[in-house]
Amino acid sequence: MIRRLSQYTLALTLVLALPALAYANGLPVFTELAAKAGKSVVFISTETTTKSNPHVQQFRQQIPQGQRFRDFFEHFDQFFGQQQRQPRKQRAQGSGFVITPDGQIVTNNHVIDGADKVTVRFQDDNTEYVARVIASDRETDLAVIKIDIDRQLPVLKMGDSEAIQVGEWVLAIGNPYGLDNTVTAGIISAKHRIIGAGPFDNFLQTDASINPGNSGGPLLNMQGEVIGINTAINAAAENIGFAIPSTQAEKIINQLREGKTVKRGWLGVTIQSVGENQAKALGLAEPTGALIASVAEDQPADKAGVLQGDVVLEVNGVKTTDNNELLRQIASLKPGDKAKLTLWRNGKQIAKTVTLGERGEKTMAAMRPQHPDQEALVLGMSLKTITEKEANALGLERPQGLLVIQVDETSPAADEGIRQGDVIIQANQQDVTSTAGLKSVIERDKKRGAVMLLIKRQGQNIFVALPLETK
């Protein structure tokens, strides 16, 4: 199970000139790097006041309704109500690092989120400095806080996380379990990890020990530069930690330092990755890019002429490897920016330039489904045309496509996840209104080795590619 480091650890990097890393018996010696970088790492404590015991409130919400339970809680409140109404203070801990000499500090959003009071303490200094939150960003889990201090502070420099390679040494500094100024070393275990922590997952993975309390701390390369910000662990594993890459974080941090809300670009589409069978059906040489599953009406992509079934191969000349990469590419641009999309459509590349909108709750809501969404056997599926009544029941605007009545469990359709109640709208980007029409498309494109079906399922559009016998 992946979880945030609710008590926070970190890794650091200094702007101070650091000597070349020393080696002993073929292994690196981290003493000078740890000593100098440690001066810029901070211990963060937070205090939050709650009006009632959250555990009791959660329990009350989960119990069944009825007079018997109401009577119980009336007696409970008689004896414990006063205690329940008393404010309670919750405390948490984390890490951070200094990025400006006048006291700006980077940490995780989840370290300071909702806190009434944030305090900072430095290595070998028991003075607690009250910090104020300049700005934070929930989607990337980053925050910038500021302390007022009468001296210039040593800072850590942001490095290039794209340049670091798997297997390189890294150093983490933080406060795991409240053990301040803890230094751990390891290597980069992997890059571009998707762990389900948020919409822009792209983590560095390290085996340098990261624990609760390390959150917000920097992960350093051997030049003393921050190449990652520690933010999550795998609770079921040992020595598997995750850090936000510096190249991704730096753009966000620069906006947060100015107290700004982070603005992100928006296409107005739903997307999915291109699998091997989808690539075959589309005539792509390899499974790459992001497949457009649906285009919201009157949103930026729609206005620019992007169509359902297009595959985004590049954004502004940079390759788009999958749907996650497209999400990050567009989000790294600002509303109003131009995004030149290289698309794959009908077997060839075309270009469309989109003026991006702004990602936000209102625009994202436009992409959410508003409704849950003659018999013949084709590719292991029992199919039938849809009546007006069935269309209404399925949340379709009109009778269209073919309804999946049953799926043979031994068929490729079952293997690819097609299920009863799905509606097949298109085959190889051609509308299908009858089983004969579907069979015609399959026969015509059999040499491709796969057919791509556009499925409507519970109000959402998805593409599923089924392999075809080419003999």
Check if 215 is active-site. Answer: yes
The span from the CA of 339 to the CA of 355, in Å, is 6
235 annotated as belonging to a binding site for a ligand: yes
Residues 40, 136, 209, 215: which is the catalytic one?
A: 215
Residue 51, token pair as written in the block:
């009006």
75 annotated as belonging to a binding site for a ligand: no
Residue 421, token pair as written in the block:
């109640």
233 annotated as belonging to a binding site for a ligand: yes
Residues 95, 110, 161, 180: which is the catalytic one?
A: 110
286 annotated as belonging to a binding site for a ligand: no
141 annotated as belonging to a binding site for a ligand: yes
213 annotated as belonging to a binding site for a ligand: yes
Residues 137, 141, 180, 445: which is the catalytic one?
A: 141
293 annotated as belonging to a binding site for a ligand: no
Bridge partners, 400 (sequence order):
none
110 annotated as belonging to a binding site for a ligand: yes
The span from the CA of 134 to the CA of 260, in Å, is 9
215 annotated as belonging to a binding site for a ligand: yes
Residues annotated in a binding site for substrate: 47, 110, 141, 213-215, 231-235
Which of the residues are catalytic? 110, 141, 215
Residues annotated in a binding site: 47, 110, 141, 213-215, 231-235
